[in-house]
Amino acid sequence: MATHIVMDHSGDSRHHFSNTDARAPADAERRFLELTGKGFTAAARTAEGDVSRISRFDPTVEETLFFPRLVGG
């Protein structure tokens, strides 16, 4: 089961999807494109805890984190 974790000002929300479900990966890809289109940074986290930035949806990634664009001042 893969998970998208979306961080925002209120905490985080989690969206789980199964690659064995015919429709779920397409829905997850739409979520990925929507969030990155809004400026979120996507990062894949490995089982070892390493994180690397990704720019394309990969249905084989088990955990994808989405961080909002930071605004400083």
Residue 73 lies in a domain: no
Residue 21 lies in a domain: yes
Residue 72 lies in a domain: no
Residue in the structure block whose two tokens are 């664009």: 69
Per-residue confidence band for 72, with pLDDT thresholds at 50, 70 and 90 = low
Domain tally, the chain:
1
Residue 24 lies in a domain: yes
Chain segment 12-49, per-residue pLDDT in tens = 999 999 988 889 999 999 999 999 999 999 999 877 88
Residue 12 lies in a domain: yes
23: domain range?
Answer: 2-67
Residue 26 lies in a domain: yes
Residues with Cβ within 8 Å of residue 27, at least 6 apart in sequence: 17
Residue 68 — left, alpha, or beta (φ > 0 → left; ψ -120 to 50 → alpha)?
beta
Q: Residue 33: which CATH number?
A: 3.10.20
Residue 36 lies in a domain: yes
C-beta atoms surrounding 66 within 10 Å = 22
* Residue 70 reports pLDDT greater than 80: no
Check if the beta carbon of residue 62 is closer than 8 Å to that of residue 43: no
